[in-house]
Amino acid sequence: MREFLSTAGGIIALVFTILGIVFSTTGLALAIFVRPQDIGITFLGTGGGFLAVGALLTGFRLAALRRRARLLETGLDSRGTIVELVQNPFVRLNGRHPWVVRYRYTVQGCDHAGSESMMDLPAGYTKGASVVVVYDPTRVELSALKRESLAAR
């Protein structure tokens, strides 16, 4: 769940889903117990819209997490360097801002760049630190960090 919520997309998906559930439940109750039923139907329709958007955004976020997991399983390793570490001020989870880690790596003499969002930085993640980058051999611009502790190596 933490990884799902580590980006703005995950948080927005959760908010839309919660709003959809609240509006749909309220709308259903109003449609059943209150006359005239127009207000209940309006709430129910609004809730359905929020749920649809929440489901769509959740699907996008889960697909991104699956792509990352697949890349970590089947990708090739390369050495990379962290070029920037910043906290994302636009996202806050439990009072904390996720980190955005920007890195560069080289494959077959060509330089590439990538970035990842994470709640906790592994030990040793500092600007200029060497990291392990996993990339897709068929599309080398697709990459992910192996989030291992640098102290463990």
Name the nearest CA neighbour of 24 among 40, 37, 12: 40
Name the nearest CA neighbour of 85 among 112, 123, 125, 113: 125
The separation between the first and the last C-alpha atoms of the chain, rounded to the nearest angstrom, is 28
pLDDT in tens, 97-132: 889 999 999 999 999 999 998 888 888 999 999 999
What is the token pair recorded at 135? 């990339």
CA 144 to chain centre: 13
pLDDT in tens, 140-152: 999 999 976 444 4
Query: pLDDT band for position 6 (50/70/90)?
Result: low
Its pTM stands at 0.72
What is the token pair recorded at 52? 């649809």
pLDDT at position 35: 82
The mean predicted confidence, pLDDT, of the chain is 90
Beta strand 139-145 pairing with 99-107:
unpaired
